[in-house]
Amino acid sequence: MNNMHASSVGGTKSHRIFLLLKDAILSGRLPPGRKLPGEIKLAEQHGVSRVTVRRAMEALREAGMVERRPGLGTVVLDQPLDATVMTASVSNLLPNMVKMSQASRVRLLEFSYVKPPEAVRESLGLEGRERVQRSVRVRLADDKPFSYLTTHVPEYIALHYNEADLASMPLFALLERSGVKVDHASQTISASLATHEVAEALDVSVGSPLIALTRVVYDEQGRGVEHLAALYRPDRYRIQIDLNRTGDEAARYWEPMAPETVQTGQQRRDEPADA
């Protein structure tokens, strides 16, 4: 949210109402042309005053999401495709990581050396006493947050860069600078709900649905060099998988296209793949 909208919303309660209505509009639960409930009804539903609701509605109008129509009330407007939506091409995962800094910027929230959680330790193949460098970052495009990233890197690698480096350079580039030869990665994609901490960082309401991605990156020796747990706003991040129809007539199936076969001339923004 930009500063203009934040100042219009004002207090915490009106901010919460604003985010709830905003999520409903962006998710399609409140489609274009739908009339919003009146101030009195919204105030009763959320247990707040009409003044609080009025501030939230004004913020929605400033954001271009609703408008007041004489004789009708407040109506949801068509929402144009956000130019800051990022597209993740799974088939070009590693090459796209290099382009991250060109399409977005990062805000570093945490930087520390810790004993890794058991799941992270096993994924990276670390011994029981080995530590990792843990960082928490928010990535933004056009100053709008779209991802919340928690990374763990083995200490023997992370000692080659510092907090200032991580705040200004993609982690993938820092790994390469440290002499790491990245070979492959394994990732899973699911869904999650925003906790209070994540919701505040991504400017969404608590409990909002998020895309959850876990990625483990390996070097040429098969050693784990990075564990990433990423949460994405679904209204600002998309995952694209290019498929080929293959197999014989008796057993046709879809398989992911190899990176070199994916069309590259499409008018879209490459994934600012978080590394």
Q: Model's pTM, two decimal places?
A: 0.65
In the predicted structure, residue 8 carries a pLDDT above the cut 60? no
pLDDT for 41 equals: 92
Q: Give me the percent of the chain exceeding a pLDDT of 90.
A: 47
Quick one: average pLDDT of 21-50? 87
Tens digit of pLDDT for each residue in 219-268? 999 999 999 999 999 888 877 677 777 877 777 777 766 554 433 333 33
In the predicted structure, residue 166 carries a pLDDT above the cut 80? yes
Tens digit of pLDDT for each residue in 10-25? 447 888 898 888 878 8
Q: What is the DSSP string of the chain?
A: --HHHHHHH-SHHHHHHHHHHHHHHHHTSS-TTPBPPPHHHHHHHHT--HHHHHHHHHHHHHTTSEEEETTTEEEEPP-PPPTT-EEEEGGGHHHHHTTHHHH-EEEEEEEEEEPPPHHHHHHHT--TT--EEEEEEEEEETTEEEEEEEEEEEHHHHTTS-HHHHHHS-HHHHHHHTT--EEEEEEEEEEEE--HHHHHHHT--TT-EEEEEEEEEEETTS-EEEEEEEEE-TTTEEEE--EEEES-TTS-EEEEPPGGGS----SSPPP----
Average pLDDT, the chain: 81
In the predicted structure, residue 93 carries a pLDDT above the cut 70? no
Tens digit of pLDDT for each residue in 95-144? 454 554 556 788 999 999 999 999 999 999 999 899 999 999 999 888 88
pLDDT for 24 equals: 82
Domains and CATH numbers, the chain: 3-76 (1.10.10.10), 86-261 (3.40.1410.10)
